């Protein structure tokens, strides 16, 4: 890990110097990191620059919701772009903070929507939770404020769990007794839960009153990307709620936090030759920046063109290297 | 307001100087503010000091949950202590962040538990919400993620509302359409809501996507005081959740925020002759400190003896002037 980090540090230092010395927003570097934090619209690049960009990475990590699809609809051109990367020989990982499905379900969904994908290429937060608990030799039970996606991944590694599904408020909810708590619970896991309720908050906070009880969250995304004017609250909404009533901070496993970085490190990828694609700056791009990956922000998800304008003006990190309205737009640049 | 604030400033400056000059933790001041931020256990005061303390204020503001009662049980001795204040001629206000009842219901509950109380002496956050919206001439509809207490107070001032009661998730909740939102809604109010649910978060965040929509919260208390090991999440849990998915900050009306200060100011009380009693430092004591009141922390609610020890050691403001295990302990000091 230390070697990995110092490698990232060297890359960052190099690119930073490069930008300063050249005093140009768009710079090339021998490490293959073009357009460093330039929020550069790839559509404005020359054919040669696009080609050099494509040659500068061997591995593509991509977010799913908002980049590849929204709900159950593929975003136009995304599948063709991903399959083009594969045709060019790039290694591919689908890295999603979504915790509602198991890896094989993500692979099926991707395949149905036209993406070539195998279970081994999926890195989801439901899987990360199971991987983490298995890794620390956890033998107690999980109180899961989350969905069956996490439940199934936990089951696959032999970790027991309770809590999935509706838990409606009782008329005398304030009279809940300690006897209603399961003494075997040793961890509270918060993921996306459409059945979130007051009794669930009450139980989570009560388990967490014990300092020995672990507190794990899949991710803290504020919202899901969504077409239209309805806002779809993300897991961060539930994590912040449980953090408030438990008066504790969760260990967050998903993007952009350390655990997913560590996992990617174990996959043996070379940060200097990796591209991270996402629709969120505070998760996808932040992860990319922390790991020393090149980063591509697409505007087909949570980040709007208005947000992008703000990004460009305020220059507040994390800034993506390059930007595209949607991933599929890459194809017209190489055709 | 400016005069009121500068008055508070003068009092604070005076007391601060007094403590520094005397170089004693316990100091007396001519403004009647004894034991300033001393976290002084009143049980260790002499009879004369207790008498001087009692003579130093004309008005008593008291929190309810955790000071006077827990759930539906009076805390031993609290009613006698409050009624003793009244017998001494003190003006009394019950100032609660609890938003679940209307003022007359609080007065009834207090009376049933042995406290002398009238509706006019109750200052609750449900009432403050109605008072605020009436004050700004609000004519649209409120989406209320809260209970009927707020609903009734709104009705009393002619403000329409929707949203109270269960709103369970539908199997296809992600397909919620803008047509399901009420175009007349011009404010989202978040209070305590035992029926909180994912569709409620979704609706609140969708209304708040319009910048014109007001965002009001009753209070941000993390927990209710509760006997036993079950943690009862407070309104802050729900407010932080809605703030996360709406990506906005609520205007909080309850303790320790400006609106309740302003309301108290309009009641014509003299800060230098007012005592604030509470069981929470970040609401009750903070309000007292901001307003220049004397403050009494009791340990019968959310603040534990362990928390108090931490307070004393860390000297992190807001610090109460005096402390008692419970309000009723005052009586044995004067008998």
* Range A2-97+256-334 classified under CATH 3.30.56.10: no
Alpha carbon distance A35, A26 (integer Å): 5
Alpha carbon distance A144, A1 (integer Å): 30
Chain mean pLDDT for chain A: 89
Mean of the pLDDT values across residues B121-150? 97
Shortest Cα distance, chain A CAs vs residue B328, angstroms: 25
pLDDT digits (tens, 9 = 90+) for B139-168: 999 999 999 999 999 999 999 999 999 998
pLDDT at residue B202, as a whole number: 97
The secondary structure element, H or E, covering residue A329 is helix A329-334
Write the secondary structure of chain B as one string of H (helix), E (strand) and C (coil).
CHHHHHHHHHHHHHHHHHHHHHCCCCCCCCCCCCCCCCCEEHHHCCHHHHHHHHHCCCEEEECCECCCEECCEECCCHHHHHHHHHHCCCEEEEEECCCCCCHHHHHHHHHHCCCCCCHHHEEEHHHHHHHHHHHCCCCCEEEEECCHHHHHHHHHCCCEEECCCCCCCCCCHHHCCHHHCCCCEEEEEECCCCCCEHHHHHHHHHHCCCCCCEEEECCCCCEECCCCCCCEECHHHHHHHHHHHHCCCCEECCCCCHHHHHHHHHCCCCHHHEEEEECCHHHHHHHHHHHCCEEEEECCCCCCHHHHHHHHHHCCCCCCCEEECCCCHHHHHHC
Beta-carbon neighbour count of residue B77 at 10 Å? 17
- Using the beta-carbon criterion (under 8 Å), do A202 and B240 form an inter-chain contact? no
Q: A63 catalytic, yes or no?
A: yes
Task: Return the sign of the alpha-carbon dihedral for residues A268, A272, A278, A283.
Answer: positive
- pLDDT tier at A5, thresholds 50, 70, 90: very low
B271 or A25: whose pLDDT is higher?
Answer: B271
Q: Coil, helix or strand for A106? A: helix
Chain mean pLDDT for chain B: 89
Nearest to A240 among B223, B230, B244 (CB): B244
ipTM for the complex shown: 0.88
Q: Considering chain B, what percentage of its residues have pLDDT values greater than 70?
A: 90
Alpha carbon distance B273, B269 (integer Å): 8
- Using the beta-carbon criterion (under 8 Å), do B202 and A71 form an inter-chain contact? no
One fold for both B2-97+269-334 and B126-252? yes
Pick from A126, A79, A302, A73: nearest CA to B175 = A73
Shortest Cα distance, chain B CAs vs residue A290, angstroms: 24
pLDDT at residue A21, as a whole number: 27
* Residue B220 reports pLDDT greater than 70: yes
Instruction: Average the pLDDT over each of A27-36, A262-271, B218-227, B254-263 and give the range with the smallest value.
Output: A27-36
pLDDT at residue A33, as a whole number: 60
Q: Each residue of B79-116: b (16+ CB within 10 Å) or e?
A: bbbbebbbeeebbbbbbbbbbbbbbebbbebbeebebe
Q: Considering chain A, what percentage of its residues have pLDDT values greater than 90?
A: 79
Nearest to B228 among A178, A201, A230 (CB): A178
* Residue A332 reports pLDDT greater than 90: yes
pLDDT at residue A299, as a whole number: 97
B198 and B156 in contact (C-beta within 8 Å)?
no
B288 and B276 in contact (C-beta within 8 Å)?
yes
* Domain B126-252: assigned CATH number: 3.40.50.1000
Residue of A nearest to B236 (CA): A244
* Residue A9 reports pLDDT greater than 60: no
* CATH class (in words) of the domain with range B2-97+269-334: alpha beta
- Catalytic member of A63, A193, A221, A321: A63
For residue A310, the Cα-to-chain-centroid distance in whole angstroms is: 22
Q: Considering chain A, what percentage of its residues have pLDDT values greater than 70?
A: 90
pLDDT digits (tens, 9 = 90+) for A135-165: 999 999 999 999 999 999 999 999 999 999 9
Pick from A234, A224, A229, A193: nearest CA to B180 = A229
Which B positions 169-198 lie with beta carbon below 8 A of chain A? 169, 173-174, 176-178, 181, 193-198
Residue A63, Cβ density class (10 Å: 0-12 exposed, 13-18 middle, ≥19 buried): buried
A140 is in an annotated binding site: no
Token readout for A238 is 């539930």
Alpha carbon distance B129, B136 (integer Å): 11
For chain A, the distance separating the N- and C-terminal CA atoms, rounded to the nearest angstrom, is 40
CA distances from A179 to A203, B45, B72, B87, B92 (A): 11, 42, 21, 44, 40
A24 or A117: whose pLDDT is higher?
Answer: A117
Q: Given the structure tokens 């998730």, which residue do they identify?
A: B169
Residue of B nearest to A244 (CA): B237
Q: How many CB pairs under 8 A join A and B?
A: 123
A250 and A214 in contact (C-beta within 8 Å)?
no
DSSP A276-290: EEES-IIIIIHHHHH
Residues in A closer than 8 angstroms to B231, CB to CB, are 202, 205-206, 208-209, 245-246
pLDDT digits (tens, 9 = 90+) for B27-85: 444 445 678 888 999 999 999 999 999 999 999 999 999 999 998 999 999 999 999 99
Show me where the domains of chain B are located: 2-97+269-334, 126-252
Pick from B170, B58, B150: nearest CA to B98 = B150
Q: Beta strand A73-74 with A69-70: parallel, antiparallel or unpaired?
A: antiparallel
pLDDT digits (tens, 9 = 90+) for B105-117: 999 999 999 999 9
* Residue A29 reports pLDDT greater than 60: no
* Residue B11 reports pLDDT greater than 70: no
Which B positions 196-235 lie with beta carbon below 8 A of chain A? 196-198, 201-202, 205-206, 208-209, 222-223, 226, 228-234
B50 and B324 in contact (C-beta within 8 Å)?
no
- Using the beta-carbon criterion (under 8 Å), do B244 and A230 form an inter-chain contact? no
- Using the beta-carbon criterion (under 8 Å), do B193 and A195 form an inter-chain contact? no
Nearest to B245 among A168, A194, A233 (CB): A233
pLDDT at residue B2, as a whole number: 39
* Residue B24 reports pLDDT greater than 70: no
Mean of the pLDDT values across residues B77-97? 97
A191 or B4: whose pLDDT is higher?
Answer: A191
A142 and A123 in contact (C-beta within 8 Å)?
no
Within 13 Å, how many C-alpha atoms sit on residue B260's CB side? 30
């Amino acid at each position: 890990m230390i070697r990995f980090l110092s490698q990232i540090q060297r890359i960052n230092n190099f690119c930073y110097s490069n930008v300063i010395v050249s005093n140009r927003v768009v710079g090339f570097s021998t490490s293959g990191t073009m357009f460093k934090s330039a929020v550069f619209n790839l559509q404005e690049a020359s054919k040669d620059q696009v080609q050099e960009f494509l040659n500068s990475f061997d591995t593509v990590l991509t977010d799913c919701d908002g980049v590849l699809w929204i709900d159950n609809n593929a975003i136009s051109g995304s599948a063709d772009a991903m399959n083009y990367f594969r045709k060019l020989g790039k290694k591919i990982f689908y890295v999603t903070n979504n915790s509602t499905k198991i890896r094989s379900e993500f692979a099926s969904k991707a395949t149905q929507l036209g993406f070539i994908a195998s279970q081994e290429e999926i890195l989801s937060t439901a899987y990360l939770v199971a991987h983490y608990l298995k890794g620390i030799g956890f033998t107690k039970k999980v109180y899961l404020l989350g969905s069956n996606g996490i439940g199934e991944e936990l089951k696959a590694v032999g970790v027991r769990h309770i809590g999935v599904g509706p838990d409606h408020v009782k008329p005398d909810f304030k009279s809940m007794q300690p006897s209603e708590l399961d003494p075997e619970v040793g961890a509270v896991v918060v993921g996306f839960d459409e059945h979130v309720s007051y009794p669930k908050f009450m139980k989570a906070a009560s388990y967490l009153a014990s300092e020995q009880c672990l507190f794990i969250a899949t991710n803290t995304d504020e919202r899901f990307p969504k077409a239209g004017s309805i806002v779809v609250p993300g897991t961060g909404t539930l994590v912040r709620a449980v953090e408030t009533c438990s008066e504790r901070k969760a260990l967050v496993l998903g993007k952009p936090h350390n655990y997913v970085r560590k996992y990617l490190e174990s996959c043996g990828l070379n940060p200097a030759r990796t591209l991270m694609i996402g629709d969120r700056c505070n998760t996808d791009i932040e992860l990319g920046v922390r790991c020393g990956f090149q980063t591509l922000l697409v505007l087909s998800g949570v980040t709007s063109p208005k947000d992008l304008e703000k990004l460009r003006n305020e220059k507040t990190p994390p800034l993506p290297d390059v930007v595209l309205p949607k991933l599929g737009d890459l194809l017209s640049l190489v055709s």
